[in-house]
Amino acid sequence: MRIGIVGGGASGAYLAIRLKELNPSFNVTVFERNDRLLKKISVTGNGRCNYANLGETKGKYNNDEFANRILDNLPRKDLIDNFERYGIHPTKIDNLVYPVSLSAQTVMMMLEKRLEQLGVIIRLNEDVLDYKKDHKQYTLITNKQTHAFDVLVFASGGKAYPQLGTNGAIIELMRQHGYLIEEPSPSLSPIKVKENTKKISGQRVKCSVSLINNNKLFYEEDGEVLFKDDGLSGIVILNMSTKINSLKDKNNVKVVLDLAKGYNNIKKEEYEQYVHPKIAAYLIEHNLDIHQISFSFKAFYDYNIAEVSHGGISVNEVNNNLESKKEKDLYFVGELLDVDGMCGGYNLMFAFASAETVAKAIK
Ligand SMILES: Cc1cc2nc3c(=O)[nH]c(=O)nc-3n(C[C@H](O)[C@H](O)[C@H](O)COP(=O)(O)OP(=O)(O)OC[C@H]3O[C@@H](n4cnc5c(N)ncnc54)[C@H](O)[C@@H]3O)c2cc1C
């Protein structure tokens, strides 16, 4: 059996390993347009690679039911055990799982080593441009040559961080091949707001954040917010961006910060006791209540800052094994699908679980 995998990121590399472990006789080739596999892994979790989360997974994804069904195919213990076998020993910070080295480089190197041990064929600097099917076999067309396969798996990621190879070209290719595409947009992204935040740019605050859509509370979370020149950032805001992405109409979305949750009857002249003087001055200048600072959503930041992309190949295009409903022996895994999760290891966990699903399905 000849299997071609398009993309040597988290899902593509893990899929190649699991395919060879389960079926040593398979001939597995990974195509990667970069000069090295797994480049994006190197920047995950601030260079530490938060590859799993031991907490609740329900409510953490856009297509939540679908994502959780796929996650069931790779229990977290199995993922962590497999990584341990490859030499990636886990450590936990709260519910977040990292390599004990706290270095994403360990994950990259150990996965590369395992791929080599298993004899996976790696074709670097090879950009997949198109594919066609004739006489029961697929032909993959790259910038260098054509290759024949029995099975194709697209693991080419989304549109976020194009500087690391994910330019979204495969999403457009799949649109041309007749697949339904949920329109991509940046997610896990800082947000631009209509108000001017320049004067408090660089300040960080611990606060309670509410997302208000059409005057109704839609989501809330406590955390740290970082003010930028023209907007807001911080993990809690990145999580808000995934929620905003799920709204069809984004015209009346507000992010409201409570900078002094649990403290009551604070007078304006006391603001400096609760927040940095620069922020206190900003609140007074704009006549804002310390418990209710409202910012109007304007836009997401660009793909080159966003950690993932929302949208991609519609989950309705695949069956439970992630095989295309339109084309037999063609599969999709990872962020290329319309699945995006919140901060905390959920996206890598989906990438690995989707790869495990396909590795077990190909016989
Ligand atoms: C800054 C940052 C921090 C992050 N931190 C975390 C974190 O801590 N935890 C977490 O769970 N998630 C994190 N993520 C998200 C996570 O990295 C992705 O969701 C995950 O890597 C998706 O895996 P994937 O295999 O689908 O795609 P990717 O890992 O993006 O891999 C896709 C690969 O396909 C290649 N490719 C694309 N098109 C072609 C083509 N035409 N031909 C050949 N190759 C192609 C690309 O070059 C790329 O190497 C982070 C992302 C970023 C950008």
- pLDDT tens, position by position, 82-114: 999 999 999 999 999 999 999 999 999 999 999
Q: What is the mean pLDDT of residues 74-89?
A: 98
Tell me the CA–centroid distance for residue 351 and ligand 1, in Å.
Answer: 9
- How many separate domains does the chain show? 2
pLDDT of residue 136: 83
User: Which atom of ligand 1 is nearest to 156's Cα?
Assistant: 34
Residues 136 and 162 in one domain: yes
Residues 55 and 85 in one domain: yes
From CA 48, how far away is CA 45, in angstroms rounded?
A: 5
pLDDT of residue 135: 81
Residue 121 has which token pair?
A: 């064929």
Buried-state track 191-228, b at ≥16 Cβ within 10 A, e below 16: bbbeeebeebeebebebbbbbbbeeeebbeeebebbbb
Please write the tens of the pLDDT for every residue from 136-177: 899 999 999 999 999 999 999 999 999 999 999 999 999 999
Residues 26 and 114 in one domain: yes
User: Which atom of ligand 1 is nearest to 50's Cα?
Assistant: 8
- Tell me, using a 6 A CB cutoff, whether residue 98 lines ligand 1: no
pTM of the predicted structure, to 2 decimals = 0.97
CB-based contact 362:80 (threshold 8 Å): no
pLDDT of residue 111: 98
Query: For atom 30 of ligand 1, which residue has the closest CA?
Result: 157
Going by C-alpha positions, the residue among 252, 257, 291 that lies closest to residue 271 is: 291
Residues 34 and 179 in one domain: yes
Residues 344 and 273 in one domain: no
Tell me the CA–centroid distance for residue 12 and ligand 1, in Å.
Answer: 10
Please write the tens of the pLDDT for every residue from 9-27: 999 999 999 999 999 999 9
- Tell me, using a 6 A CB cutoff, whether residue 340 lines ligand 1: no
- Tell me, using a 6 A CB cutoff, whether residue 168 lines ligand 1: no
CB-based contact 30:156 (threshold 8 Å): no
Tell me the CA–centroid distance for residue 106 and ligand 1, in Å.
Answer: 17
- Tell me, using a 6 A CB cutoff, whether residue 10 lines ligand 1: yes
Residue 171 has which token pair?
A: 């999403």
What amino acid occupies position 155?
A: A
Residues 174 and 28 in one domain: yes
- Tell me, using a 6 A CB cutoff, whether residue 4 lines ligand 1: no
Residues 256 and 205 in one domain: yes
Q: At 347, which helix (H) or strand (E)?
A: helix 346-361
Mean pLDDT for the chain?
97
CB-based contact 211:255 (threshold 8 Å): yes
The Cβ-side half-sphere exposure at 184, using a 13 Å CA radius, reads 24
Please write the tens of the pLDDT for every residue from 16-70: 999 999 999 999 999 999 999 999 999 999 999 999 999 999 999 999 999 999 9
The CATH number assigned to the domain holding 85 equals 3.50.50.60
Please write the tens of the pLDDT for every residue from 251-283: 999 999 999 999 999 999 999 999 999 999 999
From CA 158, how far away is CA 84, in angstroms rounded?
A: 28
Residues 168 and 226 in one domain: no
Pick from 253, 284, 300: which residue ends a domain?
300
- Tell me, using a 6 A CB cutoff, whether residue 9 lines ligand 1: yes
Mutation probe of ligand 1 site: the residue of 37, 91, 156, 309 with most atoms within 8 A of C-beta: 156
Domain extent, residue 292, equals: 191-300
Residues 199 and 93 in one domain: no
What is the percent of the chain with per-residue pLDDT over 90, rounded to a whole number?
99
Query: For atom 20 of ligand 1, which residue has the closest CA?
Result: 348
Tell me the CA–centroid distance for residue 15 and ligand 1, in Å.
Answer: 14
Assign 158 to helix, strand or coil: coil
Please write the tens of the pLDDT for every residue from 187-198: 999 999 999 999
Residue 213 has pLDDT above 90, yes or no: yes
Residues 161 and 197 in one domain: no
pLDDT of residue 22: 98
What is the percent of the chain with per-residue pLDDT over 70, rounded to a whole number?
100
Q: What is the mean pLDDT of residues 321-348?
A: 98
Residue 315's contacts (CB-CB under 8 Å, 6 or more residues apart) are 63, 66, 337, 338, 339
Residue 259's contacts (CB-CB under 8 Å, 6 or more residues apart) are 205, 207, 274, 275, 279, 290, 291, 293
Tell me the CA–centroid distance for residue 55 and ligand 1, in Å.
Answer: 22
From CA 117, how far away is CA 287, in angstroms rounded?
A: 64
